[in-house]
Structure 1
Amino acid sequence: MANRATGGRGGAKSTGDAADLAATRPWLAAYPAGTAAEIDLAALPTLPALIDAAVARFAARPATESFGKRLTYAEVGAAARAVQAWLEGQGLRPGDRVALMMPNVLAYLPVLFGVLRGGFTVVNVNPLYTPRELGVALADSGARVLVVLENFGHTAQAALPGTAVETVVVVSPGDLMGAKGLLVNFVSRRVKKAVPAFAIPGSVRLGRVLGAGRRRAPSAIAARPDDVAFLQYTGGTTGVAKAAMLTHCCVAANVMQCGAWLGPFLSDDRPPVIITALPLYHIFALTASALLMAHLGALQVMIANPRDIPALVKTMQGRPFSAIILVNTLANALLNHPDFKTIDFSKLELAVAGGMAVQAAVAERWKAVTGRPIVEGYGLSETSPVVCCNRPDIAAWNGAIGYPVPSTEISIRDADGRPVGAGEQGELCVRGPQVMAGYWRRPDETARTMTADGFLRTGDIAVMAPDGLVRIVDRLKDMILVSGFNVYPNEVEDVLAAHPGVLEVAVIGRPDPRCGEAVVAYVVRRDASTDAEALTAHARAGLTPYKIPREFIFVEALPKTNVGKILRRALREAPPVG
């Protein structure tokens, strides 16, 4: 398939009088003062241009930090140019795919930026993939190069047969750290967990890549706005994985949309510092951390393993920070660590959450401990990802996903595709410059996802208030039908999560001959004495009878995606034993 795509340019138009805009885009009246209704689509940079502008403007500022080692923007830019030059020396041409399989290590930004500068397409890969999953992504994308952290080299070795990968670049945790990197690599390999043995013929270490690349001059940037910058695989919560084609226009537009919405709420008297705990191979962190924060000149504190909550808390204790992006499960895990309350939150200005619904109990505890509300937003891989976000100046979390960001249109539609009125439920549909160009090599899937008038069907049930504030009710596919009544798992989970004995909970529907489907709750207990009787009594106080779970199954852990989003689909297909 050609690398040039045709999508990604649609968006809300500024034509029409005030009455028309109020009727079609009521959310504009609720925008923070000074926030424009539109971004300048004609002035959108390609991602290499955005990166180079940040490197030039913030050259002396620290850009990224890992294990106490920092790189400035100038150093990141120089390493990125070396990566680009080396890839070009291997015969790669603009549009060729390069897969990245790394957690948040110091080398991530230089490698990511180098691939983008060459006009190559980034294929983001979850390091926790099995060989089968990795092999599918590599074969489907046609990646010619794989960049992998050495800890996952054995997975790569098993996955490579049958793919188009010609070269594997092996990264170590201590790369780009100089002398300090030797110690970091020693600790990584010897103390914490030995790197499983692997042997990939022809593989090359990142250090050699950088050395060779610095001896070459990279080509001038050739990327164009409609070139595909990312193949972002999605489908982890719905089934078959497919890659959203995100063009430079799509992602740059979303960076500018997020910058217009969030940027004014970060102090301009000091460079922002963000805790980058969510993995950068996930679309949320990719845009909101790697690209947006570079655009704003922030220091990104890289967290290689966000599941190691004690280490994450220790890092946050030693580094005053101004922003953090979250998912509900990460916020909950932090709040449950006894030392979290000892962190200095005096510099915290933004705590933005997405990826899954934020639960009221978690949001309330977060505000009580940190003094700042969680600002919830909403997006998808197919929308680069941000569609909506609450105003950053809200006093408290409100249970909504907020307002459409600039240059974004939304439409709530019924099963027949007709728009519904304010306060009525329907499927959330989105149109804007951040919407993907389509699914890679899957035109039928693209056609099923897009409406005739150019809106993306999200598969989420939503309701919009008269002022344009949007609330997600639930995933269309997760809705449970009990004797003809709709039950939304988010609502049931929110009620159960407020019980002091519940650490985590997930709700699904199970076929039932009497009522069609029965509500079942999988619960991770905070208190071992919590039982089904106690949770049933608690649920009765907040739910009508048909919404109360018929069965409670107590488990040690819930299945989750790489960013901590609970996988209801996995519970339906292969439920854990309680």
Structure 2
Amino acid sequence: MNTTTATMTTSAAGVQSTYGALVTNALGRRTAGTAFIAADDTEISFPEALDLFGRLRTALRAAGVTHGKGFGLLSANRPDGWLAQWAGVANGGRVTPLHPFGSFDDHFFIAQDADLTVIIVDCADHRERGRQLAEAMPNTIFLTLDDADFGTNLLRLAADAEPDIAIDTAVTSDDTAMVIYTGGTTGRSKGVILPHRAIVANHLLQLADWPWPSEPRFLVTAPMSHATGWFPLGALWFGGTVIMRRRFEINAFLSAVSKHKVNMTFCVPSMVYSLLDDPSTAETDLSSLELLVYGGAPMTVPRLIKGLELFGPIFLQLYGQSEMPNVVTTLLPSEHDPTRPDRLASCGRPSAGITLRLLDDNGDEVPPGTVGELSVRGPLVMDGYRNLPEETAKALKDGWLRSGDLAVQNTDGFITLVSRAKDVIISGGFNVYPAEVEGPLLTHPAVAAAAVVGLPDDKWGEAVTAFVVLHEGAVVDGADLMALVKKRKGPIYTPKSVHFIEAVPLTSLGKPDKKALRVPSVRG
């Protein structure tokens, strides 16, 4: 191991423009200490992680993961899966994470569209899906993270390989590192092309903007294939430890925090809500937590206030998209002020180095307090959508990435999202932004959750329609909720109907599924 570490230090000095270089240097900064703790509590030291990373690079190169080649990863949260993904990228390959809850049709379409020549499968969780894909794709190489009756065990190949941790200087910051597929809720999924510069920018912004614990102990429970997979490198860079659980389960989450003195984690709002509602949370020692990063969707203000009461001032909100990942805006822990609900409803201010504007349909910046489309330019932005030139041209317009999110910015620079552009309700000729209806509804003490959509209506074009979840045992009349919104926002925003449901349907990423709410059966 001493020879391997020395080789890394010599060849990587000063090279940080690619993600492979960042990972190599993060793993090589310490010659002792625990880098990862797996779900079974197996510990992997920094030297062991660097060695495995180097061996995976060699094994993947032999399997064809080289410059410009596409490869996929279908895995639960596990250290060797995270290392394998970035080992392939360090070789110049472009990785496409496959959604752990995706359907066969989705996985097959993505594999074809992204031209994946190699797919790595975690058989502990995805053995059957891996076998189905292997049967349907006989010309694709399948590598497994466990023994299986299809493909070849990648870890066995790596065990027999020589570690290679020299920085590949032929890989540049403009090369494609990832192709991430959007959810495809409005049609076919789109492959977002992210070059190394975007991924490096993402991580440098994290390191610059966040109040990291001095010795991070970061817990991974949300799917590594999505936002949470971006964060382990920061903890490793500071010499910290990444604790992984294969998926989010409340008891496993609480146990890991208590046992391993976790001081940092990432959650989507639905995960936070589950923790707030479970009695075990208040009974568990969570005093080690210093930073709880959340994103993927806004948290409702009442639930966020409850979270601050339970966990303390440890919340940090981030906003981004696959097209400009994760760190476009930040609401820091110091800005989570329970006496400022307007600020809690925001997604913070632009992160360091982000150029952000709210633009109208003509591409002109709107004044403070006016709704505009959130638009960004800079190194964080994607190169475009794979095989979709027309969609790319729509999204990347006049040098700006048009996010499709409508927002307002106050004079202090805080940005509040009001709607996706496609979710704006046009009722009686007026624009109604769902968040501005949901906000008043959530102030009612009986309301636990609310989601607002527009439904076709002969008179109004679209009728403002509210779906409401009540707290257990609570009772309220729909007319009272309509009156509340009318008092706060006026008649244009007042729902034409209120439907009481048991739970707001969520997408597989934990976001409100407003497409599902438009299905007639949901309304009863």
Q: Which one of 292, 308, 316 corresponds to residue 234 of structure 2?
A: 292
Pairing 1:217-232 to 2, within 5 Å after superposition: 221=168, 222-232=170-180
Which residue matches 1:276? Answer: 220
Taking the aligned partners of 1:225 and 1:393, their CA distance within structure 2 comes to: 34
CA distance in structure 1 between the partners assigned to 2:337 and 2:475 by the alignment:
30
Which residue of 2, 13, 18 maps to 1:46?
18
- Equivalent residues of 2:315, 2:332 under 8 A apart: no
Q: For the structure 1 residues 216 and 298, does the alpha-carbon distance in structure 2 shift closer, same or farther, using more than 3 Å as the test?
A: closer
TM-score, with normalisation over the residues of structure 1? 0.81
Q: What is the identity, as a one-letter code, of the residue corresponding to 1:155? A: R
* 1:434-453 aligned within 5 A: 434-452=380-398
Aligned to 1:242: 190
Report the CA distance shift for 1:575/1:75 in structure 2 as closer, same or farther (over 3 A): farther
Distance 1:480-1:162 versus aligned 2 partners, 3 A rule: same
Which of 513, 521, 530 is the aligned partner of 2:458? 513
Aligned match of 1:73: 46
Task: Report how far residue 410 of structure 1 moved.
Answer: 1.0
After TM superposition, give the deviation of residue 220 of structure 1 in Å: 5.3
Give the distance between the partners of 1:205 and 1:553, measured in 2 at CA. Answer: 51
| Structure-2 residue corresponding to 1:108 | 81
Letter in 1 for 2:246: A
Stretches of structure 1 lacking an aligned partner (at least 5 in a row): 1-41, 176-197
Confirm whether residue 406 of structure 1 aligns to residue 352 of structure 2.
yes
Q: Distance in 1 between the 2:350 and 2:15 partners?
A: 21
**More divergent stretch after superposition (112-121 vs 543-552):** 543-552
1:523 to 463, 468, 475: 468
Q: Does 1:570 align with 2:513?
A: no
Give distance in 1, aligned partners of 2:432 and 2:166.
56
Given the superposition, is the C-alpha separation of residues 536 and 463 from structure 1 closer, same or farther in structure 2, using an over 3 Å criterion?
Answer: closer
Cα deviations across residues 29-73 of structure 1 (Å, max 9, x unaligned)? xxxxxxxxxxxxx97421111111111113423222223222122
Deviation readout 1:83-139 (Å, 9 max, x if unpaired): 111111223321111101112123222212322222211101101111111100000
| CA displacement at 1:273 relative to structure 2 | 1.1
Residues 236 and 491 (structure 1 numbering): CA distance in 2 closer, same or farther, change over 3 Å? farther
Higher relative CO (Cα under 8 Å, sequence separation at least 6) belongs to 1
Aligned pairs for 1:177-188 (under 5 A) are: none
Residue aligning to 2:437: 492
Within 5 Å, which residues of 2 pair with 1:394-473?
A: 394-396=335-337, 398=343, 399-452=345-398, 454-473=399-418
- Residue matched to 2:251: 310
Corresponding letter in the other structure for 1:300: V
Closer/same/farther in 2, CA of residues 210 and 427 from structure 1, 3 Å limit: same
Cα distance in 1, alignment partners of residues 446 and 143 from structure 2: 47
Pairwise CA distance, 1:406 = 2.0
Q: Partner amino acid for 1:273?
A: R
Secondary structure in 2 matching 1:385: strand
Over 6 Å off, 4+ runs: none
After TM superposition, the structure 1 stretch with the greater mean CA deviation from structure 2, 373-382 or 526-535, is 526-535
Supply the AA of the counterpart residue of 2:384. Answer: G
User: How far is the alpha carbon of 1:416 from its aligned partner?
Assistant: 1.9
In structure 1, give the amino acid aligned to 2:111: L
Shift of 1:319: 3.0
Q: Deviations over 1:250-284 (max 9, x none)?
A: 1101110121101xx2243xx111222221111x2
Which residue in 2 is equivalent to 1:388? 329
Q: Output the CA distance in 2 between the equivalents of 1:498 and 1:114.
A: 48
| Aligned counterparts of 1:526 and 1:512: Cα–Cα separation in 2 | 30
Residue aligning to 2:71: 98
Matches of 1:204 and 1:532, distance apart in 2: 60
Say if 1:319 and 1:538 are closer, same or farther in 2 by CA, change over 3 A: farther
Could you tell me which runs of 5 or more consecutive residues in structure 2 were left unpaired when the two chains were aligned.
Answer: 1-13
Paired AA for residue 225 in structure 1: S
Instruction: Using the TM superposition, name which of 535-544 and 51-60 deviates more.
Output: 535-544
CA RMSD of aligned residues (A): 2.5
* Equivalent in the alignment of 2:10: none
Deviation at 1:528, TM superposition (A): 5.1
